[in-house]
A and B are shown apart, each in its own frame.
Chain A
Amino acid sequence: MNVDNEKSQMRKGMLEYCILLLLRKEQAYASDIIKKLKDVHLIVVEGTLYPLLTRMKNDGQLSYEWIESTQGPPRKYYQLTDKGLSVLAELEVSWKELSDTVEQLSN
């Protein structure tokens, strides 16, 4: 078994959940999301985020609006939809279960 592969699989599984968590508080520009995710080492290359955001938007979990920017053209700000909120609620439950299980096993 490949440890690196395992780690990246774990991160990948978490990524969607984390994006939903980040967007629950406030709407955000893709670069802001990248910065936050990079700070916590959830993504290695920035290109990973864009297909994921588009996929989540097509799935109806996210929506975006164009907001004027002081430096250059208008920017796409992403926010959660109702569906996104319900997906987040489901993921939170299963994350809780998972972390409880891991907690129990490690003790």
Chain B
Amino acid sequence: MKKTLTVNLGGIVYQIDEDAYRLLDNYLNNLRLHFRKEEGADEIMDDMETRISDLFSEKINEHKQVIVAADVEEIIARMGKPEEIESEEDETEQKSADNEKKQRDSTTTDHHNESTTGKRRLYRDPDNRMLGGVASGFGAYLDCDPTWVRLIMIILIFIPYTPIVVAYLIAWLLIPEARTATEKLSMHGEAATVENIGKSVSDGFNRMSEKANDYIDSGKSRSVLRKIVDMLISVAAFLFKAFLVMLVIICFPVLFVLAIVLLALVVVSVSVLFGGGAALLALLPAINWAPLQTFSPMMTVVSSISMVLLVGIPLAGVLYAILRQFFHWSVMSTFMKWALLIVWLIALVVFCIGMYHVGGHLPVHCYGGSLFI
């Protein structure tokens, strides 16, 4: 028994098996990738879809009403895999690849494996993930089984003074997810050539059927120990997820309060910057600013700004992440994430220094102190 889907291809409706659909969808996506730089790529794709639709209609008759994977495979062979179809960009790519190869051959004596000449890059792997795909990404990066990475992470949780949870969360935030075929290839260190992308079309299909077999055979091929480890890891992942959800629920009121504090701080720092101390005193007369005024006004300004950044950056990050879900904004770039993290760390250091200076001289009854501590 198989599930079928209904697709509209070139204006005609077809019933298609689920596996055949995935194969076709993969093929069309890779063709689109192949033609992406060509002028009129959409038109080419429309025409090719129309052609595939024509070929499908030849496959359908009264006795056979569903398109199966074999039909799609036959049509892909007929239309050609992306690497068999030439495009203008292809030729230049090939030339530059040839030049690179020549340079490599002349400068280095050692020969790498042809298919793995690309630079390995660190991504989160969405295909093998338990939680955020960090461990599987590291596994792919280090070319080892992600189970070992996970095991080490879980062991590290029980060793005190290793901030593995924080490290995991930061890694989750900072490391981008491998979404496209190109990114997935470079995650495994394979060069993102058109040939490899084309290969991953058919690979994807093979892997899919292999996976199904694996699932059926898993009782035989996987050792008991391996199964226990797998189970432990899924339990740990579940607990961690629950912990994160709890954290969000608990933090929500805190975040709300922080947002208000941030707003107040922005007002304060702006007035300090533009209006000077007098405006500030008028604005917040209840706070005894005397201890702060005895230091250089520069220190006050710098501390205020660092305070705003310290609270503002994580808040803005969380807000962005939440609003992104509703407005379908794009993911923050890796560069941006790193820049924000570095700014935040600098703000933290500056703030600590500022507080040390002020705090050392604060009288016990100072109202100002309670604002900052």
Contacts and interface: CB of A to CB of B under 8 A. Distances in A.
Interface residues of A, number: 21
A47 B79 contact: yes
Contact of B80 (A46, A57, A75): A46
A55 B39 contact: yes
Contacts of A58: 39-40
Q: Is the interface of A mostly helix, strand, loop or mixed?
A: helix
A16 to B, nearest CB: 12
B98 to A, nearest CB: 12
Contacts of B84: 44-45, 47-48
Interface string A72-96: 1101100000000000000000000
Contacts of A71: 57
Contacts of B35: 51
B47 interface: yes
Contacts of B53: 72
A50 B47 contact: yes
Contact of A54 (B40, B51, B79): B40
A54 B44 contact: yes
A44 B86 CA distance: 11
A81 B122 CA distance: 52
Interface in B210-250: none
B360 to A, nearest CB: 72
B47 A53 contact: yes
A73 B50 CA distance: 9
Contact of B79 (A46, A57, A72, A75): A46
B12 interface: yes
B78 A45 contact: yes
Interface string A11-34: 010000000000000000011001
17 contacts: A30-B51, A45-B80, A46-B51, A47-B84, A48-B85, A48-B86, A51-B35, A51-B87, A53-B47, A54-B44, A54-B47, A55-B40, A58-B40, A71-B57, A72-B12, A73-B50, A75-B50
Closest 8 A-B residue pairs measured CB to CB? A45-B80, A73-B11, A47-B80, A47-B85, A47-B79, A54-B40, A50-B47, A45-B84
